[in-house]
A and B are shown apart, each in its own frame.
Chain A
């Protein structure tokens, strides 16, 4: 039974398209995140939600919009995709903010062509 699941695992799309990645956690956690792992392999935070409220929004283009319909879900919508958006996107959740480990989904490899 997967704790943090995200779909799809692979996504290939053309420049200019709009796409969404879905994430769900069944751990009862309050906080959810989106991380991006770029070609240099850095894992960087994009967004953080706590009980459906946006608490962290790093310098991410506004073409990226997270949506949290409830605290178990955090979806990522990306408009007008660009080549540079190609990366692996990881969803994660943690019990609360602060000193606690985060649990990660398997990742979504997005390739923009």
Chain B
């Protein structure tokens, strides 16, 4: 039973444009959400997070939006750069508990 879903396995975006990666979740006990980036043959690296008490968190070119009523979050990357090409994982943590529950990932390709 997938509690965190990333329904788009892949996304292609032109350099300089906005990349929008989506994530849906089913567990209403999740209260902290994270995005990880993964290059081939490397481990996932933390990108940005958001608490359920917020609806937006921004860090440079990366912004995460959370819509709790829709149980949906998205990661915006603007402007997209070729170095952003990677697999992006959405993850969530339940209130007072670990560990991370991951989505299946979305492969982003930024085309120069």
B45 in contact with A104 (CB, 8 Å): yes
Chain B proximity of A70: nearest CB distance (Å): 20
B: contact size bracket: 20 to 34
Interface residues of B in 48-95 (CB under 8 A from A): 49, 51, 87, 89, 93
Chain B proximity of A13: nearest CB distance (Å): 19
A99 in contact with B93 (CB, 8 Å): yes
A56 in contact with B46 (CB, 8 Å): no
Known: A48-B98, A48-B99, A56-B99. Contact between A43 and B89, CB under 8 A? Answer: yes
- In the docked arrangement, what's the CA distance between A102 and B100, Å? 8
Known: A42-B102, A99-B32. Contact between A107 and B46, CB under 8 A? Answer: no
B102 in contact with A43 (CB, 8 Å): yes
A64 an interface residue at 8 Å Cβ cutoff?
no
B43 in contact with A104 (CB, 8 Å): yes
B43 in contact with A106 (CB, 8 Å): yes
Q: How many A-B residue pairs have CB under 8 A?
A: 57
Q: Which B residues are closer than 8 A to A by beta carbons?
A: 31-32, 34, 36, 41-46, 49, 51, 87, 89, 93, 96-102, 104-105
A18 an interface residue at 8 Å Cβ cutoff?
no
Partner of A4, one of B34, B43, B51: B43
B46 in contact with A102 (CB, 8 Å): yes
A: contact size bracket: 20 to 34
**0/1 string, A32-67, CB within 8 A of B gives 1:** 010000001111110010000001100000000000
- In the docked arrangement, what's the CA distance between A106 and B39, Å? 10
* CB closest chain-B residue, reference A102: B100
Q: Which of A4, A41, A44, A103 has the most CB of B within 10 A?
A: A41
A22 an interface residue at 8 Å Cβ cutoff?
no
* CB closest chain-B residue, reference A46: B99
A86 an interface residue at 8 Å Cβ cutoff?
no
* CB closest chain-A residue, reference B51: A99
Chain A proximity of B59: nearest CB distance (Å): 12
**0/1 string, A73-106, CB within 8 A of B gives 1:** 0000000000000000010101001110111111
